[in-house]
Amino acid sequence: MLLREVGYARPGSLGEAIQLLAADDGARALAGGQTLVNVMKARAGSPDALIDLGRIEELRGIELGADGTLEIGAMTTYTELVESSEARARPILGEVCAQIADVQVRNRGTIGGNICTSDPTNHLPPLLAALGAEMTIQGGNGVRTVAASDFFLGVYMTAVGPGELLTKIRIPAGRNDGFAAVTLGIDGTCIVSAAATQNGGLTLAIGCVDAVPVVLRPASADDDAVRAAVQDANLDPPSDVHASSEYRRHLAGVLAVRAAHQAQGSS
């Protein structure tokens, strides 16, 4: 069976893309297409029109500020993040992007698409939550900045509203980060993931145990304190064909300790 007919536009500027999205409730932004096109093929979604962001220069690029802050355009691909010398200011970004799927997905998939999907099994939502990233969102009413803690609202739901686009992601300076995941096969999506950053105190973000990353701040970076923080969070993860709720809860503690070790340079 063929897909339903779908409109397609490839605007050359951010302003034009926002206008096209605002003009049609059924229009959706198309980034790398690695989730959206599959959703359409599975008939789980059926946009009226695709607004291809691929030609918009304002959404590209990785800038390293003098203070070590990274500003990453939403259309930056995983491969660009892996290969960028600027992104090496925060090495965990390239390390985690290199773990996502296969070379085709990494060449097409974008940091913006990954977090706008807000799929709990994706690698980047917990990572960006732990790093304290800020997202810039632009629409017809102007530009606003949203902290990662307010960006992820639910499964497939983010702070990006109708007629708006995520334009860039700002990541503060820092190097003491960690990430650990148990995935479906060697290059699959996560069954449970944990990201950690040590900046004053330890911040953890656990993925796949709730609709959005669960951010925790253990009393210290000791293994016992990390395990206690995970236990005290009373996680109630879903059970599915890949893992029971109980196993996911167990993995959350194990992976949080692993990520915390890496963040402290002890793994």
Ligand X SMILES: Cc1cc2nc3c(=O)[nH]c(=O)nc-3n(C[C@H](O)[C@H](O)[C@H](O)COP(=O)(O)OP(=O)(O)OC[C@H]3O[C@@H](n4cnc5c(N)ncnc54)[C@H](O)[C@@H]3O)c2cc1C
Residues in the site for ligand X, rule: CB under 6 A?
A: 28-36, 38, 53, 74, 100-101, 105, 108-110, 112-114, 116-117, 119, 122-124, 160, 165-166, 188-189
229 versus 255: smaller Cβ distance to ligand X? 255
Question: For ligand X, which is the closer residue by CB, 119 or 134?
Answer: 119
> At its nearest, how many Å lie between ligand X and the CB of residue 231?
27
* Between 165 and 196, CB nearer to ligand X: 165
- CB nearer ligand X, residue 33 or residue 94: 33
Q: How far is the CB of 37 from ligand X (least distance, A)?
A: 6
String of DSSP letters for the chain: -PPPP-EEE--SSHHHHHHHHHH-TTEEEESS-TTHHHHHHTTS---SEEEE-TT-GGG--EEE-TTS-EEEETT-BHHHHHH-TTGGGSHHHHHHHTTSS-HHHHHH-BHHHHHHHT-TTSSHHHHHHHHT-EEEEEETTEEEEEEHHHHEEETTEES--TT-EEEEEEE-S---EEEEEEESSTTS-EEEEEEEEEESEEEEEEESSSSS-EEE--SSSSHHHHHHHHHHTT--PPP-SS--HHHHHHHHHHHHHHHHHHHTT--
Considering the complex, state which of residue 212 and residue 229 has its C-beta at the smaller distance from ligand X: 212
Minimum separation from the CB atom of position 185 to ligand X (A): 9
Task: State the number of CA atoms in the 13 A half-sphere of 209 facing the CB.
Answer: 29
- Write down the least CB distance from residue 109 to ligand X, Å: 3
Nearer to ligand X, 65 or 161 (CB): 161
CB of 201 to ligand X, least distance (A): 27
Chain residue at closest Cβ approach to ligand X: 113
The least distance separating ligand X from the CB of residue 123, rounded to whole angstroms, comes to: 4
